[in-house]
């Protein structure tokens, strides 16, 4: 991930400490938040990442009415000034895919080293999806530090096992449903399709897709019926 491309508009925000933000992401990458199963996962790594979040974003933590660990997922609620408005939801997942045993020496940098050089932030999760998790928090931290007060509530939900089962997301959804916590829209990972906006009346602009649904799966059972004599005719032709 190119940190300069990631913060492409950094000149518009001279008060941002890009180096500190990069180091916070790099540290998040150093935690081996690999989900295996409920019994063998090293949950201390998830605990450490969550503590890093609490320590790194004081404005978010101060504004939050609730910071809650649900299973091993994290739910943060920031109340808005207008309770009639449905909330905005920012989501990501803490877990990353494992490093294939035997490939450790093939990595340019330690996948959990959290290394930063002049061009890149290196580590497992730099693109899937700790960059988004930390980016959501960094954006909100910046806005709150500038005196921003949201009109609608903001929910941040960070799952624990998206790469495998998404039981964490299920538990988060159950908790939110039980409290009648609803979102008008949510920001999630997904398509990374960026293209020239000229065709859409936005020359010299980069355009990205806005999705109205999330990928999933559907099981369908199809049953076909036909007259019995059609079957007999098919058999006759096969043996004639």
Tens-place pLDDT, residues 3-30: 445 456 777 888 889 899 999 999 999 9
Marked catalytic residue, from 12, 19, 95, 115: 95
Tens-place pLDDT, residues 163-221: 998 999 999 999 999 999 999 998 888 755 667 778 878 888 877 777 766 667 778 88
Q: Which two tokens stand for residue 167?
A: 């039981």
pTM: 0.82
Q: Which two tokens stand for residue 150?
A: 């949201």
Tens-place pLDDT, residues 15-72: 889 899 999 999 999 999 999 999 999 999 999 999 999 999 999 999 999 999 999 9
Question: What's the pLDDT at 196?
Answer: 76
Question: What's the pLDDT at 219?
Answer: 84
12 flagged as catalytic: no
Q: Cβ distance 160 to 46 under 8 Å?
A: yes
CA distance linking residue 175 with residue 186, whole number of Å: 17
Residues 6+ apart with CB under 8 A from 41: 34, 35, 72
Beta strands (DSSP E) in 42-94 are 66-70, 73-78, 87-93
Marked catalytic residue, from 77, 136, 141, 162: 162
The CATH number covering residue 78 comes to 3.40.630.10
95 flagged as catalytic: yes
List the domain range (segments joined by +) for residue 56.
3-239
Give the chain's domain count: 1
């Amino acid at each position: 991930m190119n940190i300069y491309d990631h913060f492409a508009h950094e000149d518009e925000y001279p008060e941002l400490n890009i180096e500190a933000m990069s180091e916070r992401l790099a540290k998040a990458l150093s935690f081996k938040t690999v989900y295996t199963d409920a019994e063998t996962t090293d949950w201390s790594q998830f605990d450490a990442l969550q503590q890093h979040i609490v320590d790194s974003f004081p404005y978010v933590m101060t504004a939050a009415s609730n910071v809650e660990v649900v299973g091993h997922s994290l739910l943060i609620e920031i109340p808005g000034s207008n309770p009639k408005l449905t909330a905005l939801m920012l989501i990501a997942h803490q877990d990353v895919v494992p490093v294939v045993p035997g490939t450790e020496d093939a990595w340019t940098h330690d996948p959990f080293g959290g290394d930063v050089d002049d061009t890149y932030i290196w580590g497992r999760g730099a693109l899937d999806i700790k960059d988004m998790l930390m980016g959501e928090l960094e954006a909100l931290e910046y806005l709150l530090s500038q005196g921003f007060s949201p009109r609608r509530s903001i929910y941040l939900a960070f799952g624990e096992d998206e790469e495998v089962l998404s039981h964490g997301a299920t538990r988060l959804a159950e908790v939110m449903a039980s409290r009648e916590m609803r979102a008008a829209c949510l920001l999630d990972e997904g398509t990374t399709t960026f293209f020239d906006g000229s065709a859409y009346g936005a020359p010299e602009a980069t355009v990205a897709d806005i999705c109205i649904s999330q990928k999933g799966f559907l099981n369908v059972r199809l049953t076909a019926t036909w007259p019995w004599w059609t079957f007999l005719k098919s058999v006759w032709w096969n043996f004639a």
